[in-house]
Chain A
């Protein structure tokens, strides 16, 4: 009978399709984004950040960059930037979600922690010409974003998404470029979640003494850490780029340690105490102190 009555057939097919749909797609609305998911610190986007997010979508950044740190140790280590894996409550203001499906470039869920510079110096240089900052990168150049931001719909967007805003927030948009907006968005990503400084690293400056007196025994590891965490701002040979050159220093070892561990957020230097343990920070200090210009 089924094979002879297309009307009954089509109704039955619909019912069969709706079983799994109901359980795995409709029912979860009851749990996801409910009160238990909420994280008090997570704030909606400002008008400028939202404009930046829209540019991120327009350019299809999600085709190469994900925005979810999975609950895997290596993911947290690589993309957590000292914070933790992604939680549902961090995304309640994201329409649409931008988790992506391919990491041709790195995950950006916590990129705001990595580059806290209020002026966005690293982003500016990188967006204008990614290869000038990361020579082997395959990211396209986005120098053209240095054009005035269209703010015609900014207020309507905030109203549509029911995000709170003040006249000052709208005033902030004036004279901004598209680049300013996308950098404002980048700087927000992941920063609502607090970074827990590693206890050992914070206590260390009190001890105050670099356990390493020469570079040779720690050179390989120090250079590996440097390449991963420092080179993109200070240059691959410590010659300086967005950040200052790190070939020797007028600071004491203990002060150098403090800068690396706690950062200088106003200058754009992030705190590394959440990602690097005491030993690694001392090794970097040793590299800065004793490294040759060719290292």
Chain B
């Protein structure tokens, strides 16, 4: 009990709260821009156009919700796995403030048109420097906590955490190199095809170091905790980890198939993307086999539902991704809505389902209480699952339909459909996709209500405990 009290958990709570705030912003903006695609009159120039809002949606999702909650959970996990309180509680607290200011400024600067246009690296240089500083503060705090640990062995989760700390630093710094014109504008340090190659080396490895390694760290920690059984294979974890971080970095150019990027880079990217199935599924199998003898829990334990569904989407994602990286298939679906369908299975499915479980578990542990309502958690689960599937499936159909129409030719080699015919054909799917967003939002609402009630319940219980002292 004494050890537990020394852990720094206030900042964990802070990051959880704020990551949920930014996640909600991301979903709201996402729904708004999905409606704009079906009803363009919803664009309100100059600030609220699709072109300016879409980066706000992606940045709030990736940096606000994703990285915000990773920071919360890494602080939580690292302290437990090292049996050591956080190296600096005050540094973490400062980090939370700077993080929130940075995300808010990101939204404002993107809305006024300060946009480098490199995807997921849109922020102009002064803000990019702030983001880098936040990451260094975070990395130092986590690393020093690990260095001064009381537990000699470093569990798998800590490897993924450390890889993410190093990886994100390298990626973010290089892709943000530029030539500042003034405080509000800079030009990329790289030109044309080089810039494209650097960008997608960054873009795809942001998937590795932000949307794969951190949720895997979280998954490896929480699944055994939740089901009360050890991870199936430590050795498989080691092999999967090293091969994953080795192979990922070769694959960026699969975003650039059939473009002027040299063919050999494209071919390497394609080959390594296929090879990545192995380490990705190493983690999936490790998750599944850990469940051996525990499968009844998927009925009884709401957290298992989130986690196992999450890792299943990870498995599907890492089969679909390599498929899309093959030249012939890419020719068909690249630049269509298939790709947002794929991305949202990863973000709404894999990453968010894992985060929901981890947040439920962490909050109830920190508050030392039961969840307010398990049945609400189940409703949350089904709403976000249906919302996400509805999103992805409609976008896959839209992508296949538009992709096949765009490529269709007449017998003389001329095109069969005009561009507008292909766009008009997918409008019904845009409307359905907007509906899926509302379903997901409803799930998120239930999640937030449930957490709020849990906090409220714990708050009401707290004075009683104090009296007992």
Measured CB to CB, the residues of A under 8 A from B are: 3-4, 6-7, 9-10, 13-14, 16-21, 23-25, 28-29, 31-33, 37, 54, 57-64, 66, 68, 70-75, 77-78, 86-88, 90-104, 106, 130-131, 134, 136-144, 153, 156-157, 160-161, 225, 227-228, 277, 280
Given contacts A13-B167, A23-B268, A138-B37, 11 further A-B contacts (CB under 8 A): A4-B153, A13-B159, A57-B117, A60-B50, A60-B55, A63-B50, A88-B260, A94-B191, A140-B49, A140-B51, A153-B181
Q: Are B51 and A64 in contact (CB under 8 A)?
A: yes
Q: A220 to nearest B CB, angstroms?
A: 11
B245 at interface by CB-CB < 8 Å: yes
B163 at interface by CB-CB < 8 Å: yes
CA distance A14 to B420 in the complex (A): 47
Could you list 9 examples of A-B contacts with CB < 8 Å?
A3-B153, A13-B162, A61-B51, A91-B193, A94-B195, A95-B189, A136-B423, A138-B37, A280-B414
CA distance A9 to B159 in the complex (A): 8
Of B38-46, B371-379, B460-468, the segment with at least 4 beta carbons within 8 Å of chain A is B38-46
* Residues of B close to A140: CB separation below 8 A: 36, 40, 43, 45, 49-51
CA distance A28 to B45 in the complex (A): 40
Q: Are B195 and A96 in contact (CB under 8 A)?
A: yes
Q: Are A64 and B415 in contact (CB under 8 A)?
A: no
- The answer to whether A68 and B268 touch (CB under 8 A), given A4-B154, A19-B246, A59-B49, is no
**What string of 1s and 0s marks CB contacts (under 8 Å) between B140-154 and chain A?**
000100110000111
Which residue of B is nearest A5, CB measured? B154
Interface residues of B in 183-213 (CB under 8 A from A): 185, 187-199, 201
* Residues of B close to A161: CB separation below 8 A: 179, 187
Which residue of A is nearest B340, CB measured? A102
Q: Which of B37, B163, B260, B261 has the most CB of A within 10 A?
A: B260
- The answer to whether A74 and B407 touch (CB under 8 A), given A95-B187, A138-B38, A157-B181, is yes
Which residue of A is nearest B37, CB measured? A138
CA distance A261 to B100 in the complex (A): 59
In the complex, which range does the number of interface residues on chain B fall in? 35 or more
CA distance A23 to B250 in the complex (A): 8
CA distance A94 to B191 in the complex (A): 5
Q: Are A92 and B191 in contact (CB under 8 A)?
A: yes
CA distance A176 to B196 in the complex (A): 31
Dominant SS among interface residues on chain B:
helix
B83 at interface by CB-CB < 8 Å: no
B173 at interface by CB-CB < 8 Å: no
* Residues of B close to A98: CB separation below 8 A: 117
Measured CB to CB, the residues of B under 8 A from A are: 36-40, 43, 45-46, 49-52, 54-55, 113-119, 143, 146-147, 152-154, 158-159, 162-163, 165-167, 170, 179, 181-182, 185, 187-199, 201, 242, 245-253, 255-262, 265, 268-269, 272, 331, 335-337, 339-340, 406-409, 412-415, 418-420, 423-424, 427
CA distance A39 to B257 in the complex (A): 22
CA distance A6 to B364 in the complex (A): 30
Q: B61 to nearest A CB, angstroms?
A: 15
Q: Are B40 and A130 in contact (CB under 8 A)?
A: yes
Q: Are A28 and B265 in contact (CB under 8 A)?
A: yes
- The answer to whether A91 and B187 touch (CB under 8 A), given A20-B247, A72-B331, is no
* Residues of B close to A130: CB separation below 8 A: 40
Kindly identify which residue among B189, B248, B259, B406 contacts A99, using a CB–CB cutoff of 8 Å: B259
Q: Are B413 and A77 in contact (CB under 8 A)?
A: yes
Kindly identify which residue among A10, A78, A138 contacts B40, using a CB–CB cutoff of 8 Å: A138
* Residues of B close to A87: CB separation below 8 A: 260
Q: A103 to nearest B CB, angstroms?
A: 4
Q: B208 to nearest A CB, angstroms?
A: 9
